[in-house]
Amino acid sequence: MKFLKALLLIVGLLFGVYAIMCALGPSSSDTSQTTVIDASPSSIYAEISDFKQWPNWSPWEGIDETMVTTYDGADAGVGAQMNWTSAKAGNGGMEIIEAVENTSIKKTLSFADAEGNSMGAGHTNWTLKEVEGGTEVTWDMVGFDLPFLIRGMIMIGGQSVEEDYKKGLAQLKTYVESKPKFTPMSEEMSDVWVISVQRDNVTEEDLANGAVHGPAYGMIATFMAEREMAEAGMPICISRGYEDGVMDLSMSIPVADSVEVPEGMIMEKIPGGKCLSTIHKGPYEGITSTWEMMEAYMKENPQEMRYFPYEVYVNDPSTVAPEDIETKIVYPVEG
């Protein structure tokens, strides 16, 4: 009985001490930290908009070997979710609710107890801005009140949210800057005659499920079949203009020589010469990031374009696995 009373007394004292630490600990996690990373906004956005990339640089990675992390919702961007359970760091989750590609991200952040009951929720934000020397990255947490019991954990750990954010940005900077710099291939291309069908003011939604490409290539293929013409190369898509997600495109099929084409089609020649190119491997839905890498390279290494950039569909998606689909992005430049 005396032992039990002593044990209860000790437990009571420990709880009292922890309660005092919770009372003295930080009540708010408001912080804003900034650094400059020698990389393009698109390469940094790719790391922070995809929760599955966070283990590469997160300040909380490895603090609890028993932590279990799960991912739900979208692969990246709006709707992407990450949830975790941890004996040391507590349980919680994040979800991206707003995102402007290569510019900003807003996330909800929530904590829960072992039973899943809410212990507090708030928002965190990322802002990316091109500056001399790379990209200015700001990571902040605004208007977030820490749950009472979490404050004591911060006092014990001696690590504030501000220090976590500083550490996270430092590790993100090291990780991104240590990655190999993207460099496109340089090659000489020959002249290519193509039969094209142009479609203007095309949105990304219009491209879904081949709604634009399919009918255009079908029209060209029908004309060529009637003339018993053979293809002289894989299909091409010329990007004649792009602004705010709206594109002017030409779906094109290479042929051996110039021929007369009916109204609604264009007979044109893609001029040969020096080209910078890269291969996007995998489903077409992910090709935007590869275009962005090419655009970032062209900004950092300005060169005069001598023709519109275009895609070459290297292999047939119906004959290879999705991860083996190859699309070549070509930038014709002055030699």
Using one digit for the tens of pLDDT, what is the confidence trace for 93-136? 999 999 998 899 999 988 776 555 555 677 899 999 999 889 99
Q: Are both 94 and 171 inside the same structural domain?
A: yes
Q: What is the pLDDT of residue 171?
A: 97
Q: Are both 277 and 244 inside the same structural domain?
A: yes
| Spatial contact of 276 and 301, defined as CB atoms under 8 Å apart | no
- Please state the length of the chain: 335
| Spatial contact of 88 and 63, defined as CB atoms under 8 Å apart | yes
86 assigned to some structural domain:
yes
More confident residue, 8 or 249: 249
Reduce the DSSP state of residue 200 to 3 states and report it. Answer: strand
Q: What is the pLDDT of residue 255?
A: 97
- Rg from Cα positions in the chain: 27
Q: Are both 230 and 277 inside the same structural domain?
A: yes
Q: Are both 212 and 274 inside the same structural domain?
A: yes
Of 200-214, 236-250, 312-326, the least confident: 200-214
Residue 270 reports pLDDT greater than 80: yes
| Per-residue pLDDT tens over the stretch 61-98 | 888 888 899 999 998 899 999 999 887 777 889 999 99
Residue 133 tokens read as 């020397």
Q: Which of 146, 178, 210 is the last residue of a domain?
A: 178
18 assigned to some structural domain:
no
More confident residue, 6 or 282: 282
5 assigned to some structural domain:
no
* Residue 262: CATH number of its domain: 3.20.80.10
Q: Are both 30 and 173 inside the same structural domain?
A: yes
Residue 18 reports pLDDT greater than 60: no
Q: Are both 104 and 199 inside the same structural domain?
A: no
Residue 329 reports pLDDT greater than 90: yes
Residue 156 reports pLDDT greater than 60: no
211 assigned to some structural domain:
yes
Residue 195 reports pLDDT greater than 90: yes
Average pLDDT score over residue span 271-294: 91
Residue 24 tokens read as 């003295």
Average pLDDT score over residue span 266-280: 96
Q: What are phi and psi of 217, to 5 degrees?
A: -65, -35
55 assigned to some structural domain:
yes
- Residue 314 pLDDT level (bands cut at 50, 70, 90): very high
Of 6-20, 165-179, 269-283, 298-312, the least confident: 6-20
1 assigned to some structural domain:
no
Reduce the DSSP state of residue 83 to 3 states and report it. Answer: strand
Q: Are both 159 and 227 inside the same structural domain?
A: no
Q: Which of 178, 213, 243 is the last residue of a domain?
A: 178
| Spatial contact of 12 and 138, defined as CB atoms under 8 Å apart | no
Relative orientation angle of helices 41-48 and 161-178, to the nearest 10 degrees:
120
State whether the Cα torsion 309-229-191-327 is positive or negative: positive
Q: Are both 56 and 78 inside the same structural domain?
A: yes
Over the chain, what is the mean pLDDT? 85
State whether the Cα torsion 18-19-20-21 is positive or negative: positive
